[in-house]
């Protein structure tokens, strides 16, 4: 597994009103959601990036305004086979 470090200005962290750990989890989720939305990652791969189950990831997509089933029939078949 690879580790990527980010430097975040204190004022940005303060604006999020979160601890560094909470901000880290939120940034991972945001990256996963966006990469899924851009079709760069499957839902399973995005869930792993976010550190949550695939079911949890799919549930949370609505919080970010990203449709779960914005895919072609072929993509849907591939997703359902991957589990």
Tens of pLDDT, residue by residue over 38-73, are: 999 999 999 999 999 999 999 999 899 998 876 677
**Which of 19-28, 39-48, 74-83 has the least mean pLDDT?**
74-83
CA angle (16 as vertex; 4, 33 as ends), nearest 5:
55
Tokens of 68: 């779960």
pTM of the model: 0.76
Q: How far apart are CA 83 and CA 34, in angstroms?
A: 20
Query: What is the secondary structure of 10-42 as a DSSP string?
Result: HHHHHHHT--HHHHHHHHHHHHHHHHHHTTSS-
């Amino acid at each position: 597994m690879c580790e990527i470090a980010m430097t975040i200005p204190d004022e940005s962290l303060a604006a999020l009103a979160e601890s560094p750990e909470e901000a880290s989890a939120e940034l991972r989720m945001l990256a996963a959601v966006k990469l899924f939305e851009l079709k760069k990652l499957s839902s399973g791969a995005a869930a792993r990036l976010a550190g949550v189950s695939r079911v949890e990831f799919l549930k949370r997509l609505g919080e970010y305004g990203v449709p779960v089933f914005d895919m072609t029939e072929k993509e849907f078949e591939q997703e359902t086979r991957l589990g």
